[in-house]
Structure formats: C-alpha cells, structure tokens
A and B are shown apart, each in its own frame.
Chain A
C-alpha cells in the first residue's frame, strides 16, 4: 500500500482558550488513536513553527521566515492508504478543518 504525507497547516489556535485547546487535544488524541488501531498511522511529529524559507532572489540566497505564518506546516503524519480517495477520506477527519486549518495530502512516490 502506498504511503501518504499529511501536512497540517493553519488553524486559529492562537486565539483559543485553554478550554477550547483541551477539547482540540482530546479530539486529536482520539483521531490518532483510531488511525493507529486501524493500522493506518505509520509516523508523525510536530514541526516547529519558526521555520525558514531558503530562496535564491536575483542571485542572492536568502533565508527569510515564511511570508504568512499561518501557511507554515504545524506537523506531519505518514499514513498508509490504498489510494488518494482513501487518504483524502482519512484527512477529512482532521480536527483542524473545523478551525480554518487545512491538510495537504501528498502520496510518497514508490520507484520499486
């Protein structure tokens, strides 16, 4: 079965109260637990939000921050799914979709 990378972006969490954040933590824990039990979750971790973007701007290499911090990837999952349809269906369960967040789903190419 192919692997898919889920990249989590956005989400209005900065403005959340502790009560809302606790609910979100619980929703995520439940979601990840379910994916693990189904054997679909292979790996994942958080990514620090203060990342850099290295670019060649007119011959000069820059390493500025993201233009839009909301676009930064907050974390990633490595998910096993039959095809894009299934991967997308799984991604729809992400709690961040309820709070202006989104998930980028990319299949890992397999050259074997």
Chain B
C-alpha cells in the first residue's frame, strides 16, 4: 500500500515543466516502435496501448511528479500496456513470444542505441502511411493520427472533414495495411527512389492543408504546417531520404511558413502579395529556408519542389512587389507548368508575366495555356482576368469579371477579397 503524503512526491520533474508538444511528438515515436515490434496488423491495439500510456501519465504524474525521463517512461508504459492487451486477447500470429511469456514487461528506460532505432521506426511508419494501397488524402489522415497524435476530432477539424469520414478513412487505411502485411521498414535502393516522392507528396499535401486550404483557424493552420515541417526534418535526418528534393521541400515550407502570419486569401496570395507586410515575415525561418535551398542545389535533380522553393525565394528576397525578379519567377512558373500542367500554375504564370512584361503579355499566357472551357466555373481564373483589367484602368470591365468570379467563389475568404476589389473599382470609377 502506497499513499503519497503532502510533503513527498516532488521528485523528478515535479514542477510540470514539460517540453512543448512532448506528448504529440512522442506519440509518433512510441506508436512506430510498437508497430515495428507487434506488426502493423495490430495497429488498433498499438494505438490503444499508446493512448493508455498518456492516460496513465495523467493519472500518476500530477501526484508523483513527472518522471526524470518522461519519454522513456511513456515508451515503457505503452509497451507494457500492449503486452497486457495481447495477453488478454491471446491472439495474433506474431505474438507467440508474448503468449509464451518470452516477451515480458520492462522496468528500465530504453538505452541510447534504442533512440536511433526509434527514429528509423518513425520513418518506416511514415512510409507505411504512404503505401500505394492507401488513397492520397487518407495518407495525410493516417500520418496525422499516427505520427502527429491528432485525435479523430482534431483531424476532422484540421482537414475540414466530418469525424465519421475521418474515422472511416482511418479504419480503411488500417485494413489495407493489415491486408498488405508488409514488414515495417524504410525501403532501400530502387524501392526508396520510387516511394520517397510519395512520402514527400503526402507531406506537401499536409503542409498545404495548413497553408492554402480555406481553414479559418490560424492556430490549426500553423499546427499543420509545423507538423509537416517536423516530419520533413525527420526525413532529412536519414541519409538515404535526405535527397536534394527533400531539402527543396523543406526550403519551400520554410519560406511559406515565414509568411504564414501575414498571408491571407488561399489561392489569392499572388494577387494579394502587394498588401503583405514584409517586415513581419519570420527571419529565422527565412534563414533556415535559404540554407535548405543551398542544400537542395547540390545535385542535378530539379523537382517541382525546387521550382516552387525558387519562386518563394524570389518573393522573399524582394523588398517590394516592384523590385521582385518577375522574369526569374516567370521562368520558374513556366518550368513548373511543364511538370505539373496545373491550371493554377498557368494562372500564376500569367500573373508573373504580366508584372514582368505588362498585362497584354499576361493575357497572352492566359490564352495560350488556359482552356477557358475547362475553367468556366473556376473562380480564380476570372479573378486573374479581372486583375489585368483593373491594372489597365478598365474598371468597368474589371467589375464585371470580379462579379463573375464572386458568383463562383466557394469560401468566405474568396468572397471577401472579391467584394473588396469590386467596391474598390466602383469607388474609383
């Protein structure tokens, strides 16, 4: 019988000064390590065991004080919880060792050699989350659940989906991984070359959910961007995954994140760039981005992330919209369009060309690259066309086009921006 008196229980980290996001960051490491040991087919049990460790911390740390090594404590308690669970259930082919009593509770904290393994496990899980069998959007969902420790509700809120849709994505992803039954490991050689881009793409999507989606909550946007950057950092720590394209991805994230606090308007960023307060851009992130961009240049590969990071760097380097190197940006957008054939990239290219060579040249790009029939209900197209008219002084024409865009706007940020431009053009008419 152990009862804690008022005087005791103050050992270890009793002050409660835990490292920020400690639990969130540990979640991915703990879960990955358990997945490696108990198999991806036991994902649900592993998730529950991981959660149990955090709940155990809640019920014991306040009274006994946080342990000296909180991460090791959580890892140990989660593993013991998993073993107890499997013993109770007495199933799963991988768990014969557990059933035979060979796998037992551990009482000591993990060793230093184990820490390197944990980093590998985390990456192996990241690759599993990006398995070919899992649909693209579900990859971001399961990354947030497993590696970032978001609750179903938090994922739903972050990705603007319903909780039931997220729960369904998770259970399907678990099922797919269970069926594929592959070992959890960081791929090597040709397989790595083939699969690394999928992981990069998933992180890119995750970042964009924070950066470009119509997510109204600034804090959620910041968290999504931070998570994408943290996971990209883990990728960069692994020699085989630290390709120049991964550095380029990091550079891109840093430059975008540096402007996160001042930006507004989702896809409309380029149209709104002149209204951003450049003094408020985050200098530390810019410096980190420039370093990543230098590392990205140490090779012959030119990925879409290189191009996008290059564009962002041009904007960052410029003191104003007038002194921006629009020629370089136009070149990079043209290359990017060649790679992606994205209509948004074509529209951004048109804007860049218009600042470099005038609105007529911008119009010509619209004609050349944009298939109006396909974009007829695409609001951003009409907003760009309207912007050219406005800058040419044809305000009446601009108003008509802005109104057309406004009618197709899909969110309030768009509507607000367009209504503002309409008013502005009418006011100076």
Contacts and interface: CB of A to CB of B under 8 A. Distances in A.
Interface of A: 13-22, 24-26, 28-33, 36, 39, 41-46, 74-75
A15 B58 CA distance: 13
A29 B14 contact: yes
A43 B65 CA distance: 13
Most buried by A among B2, B55, B154: B55
A28 B23 contact: no
Nearest to B151: A17
Interface of A is mostly: helix
B3 A14 contact: no
Contacts of A42: 5-6
Contacts of B63: 32, 44-46, 75
Contact of B16 (A20, A26, A46): A26
B6 A15 contact: no
A43 B3 contact: yes
Given A29-B61, A75-B59, 19 more contacts: A13-B58, A17-B151, A17-B154, A18-B149, A24-B58, A25-B18, A25-B58, A26-B18, A28-B61, A29-B16, A29-B62, A30-B16, A31-B62, A39-B6, A43-B3, A43-B4, A45-B2, A46-B59, A74-B59
Contact of B6 (A26, A30, A36, A45): A36
A17 B58 contact: no
Interface in B52-88: 54-55, 57-63, 65-66
B150 interface: yes
B59 A18 contact: no
A14 B52 CA distance: 9
Most buried by A among B10, B55, B59, B66: B59
A18 B62 contact: no
B21 interface: yes
Contact of A14 (B22, B55, B62): B55
Contact of B23 (A18, A30, A43): A18
Contact of A25 (B4, B24, B62, B154): B62
Contacts of A41: 6
A44 B4 contact: yes
B189 interface: no
A27 B95 CA distance: 38
Contacts of A16: 54, 151
20 contacts: A13-B55, A13-B58, A14-B51, A18-B26, A19-B24, A22-B22, A24-B58, A28-B58, A29-B15, A29-B65, A32-B62, A33-B14, A33-B16, A36-B10, A39-B6, A41-B6, A43-B4, A45-B2, A45-B3, A75-B63
B421 interface: no
Contacts of B221: none
A46 B7 CA distance: 17
B153 interface: yes
B263 interface: no
A33 B63 CA distance: 9
Contacts of A74: 59
Given A25-B16, A33-B15, A45-B63, A19 B5 contact: no
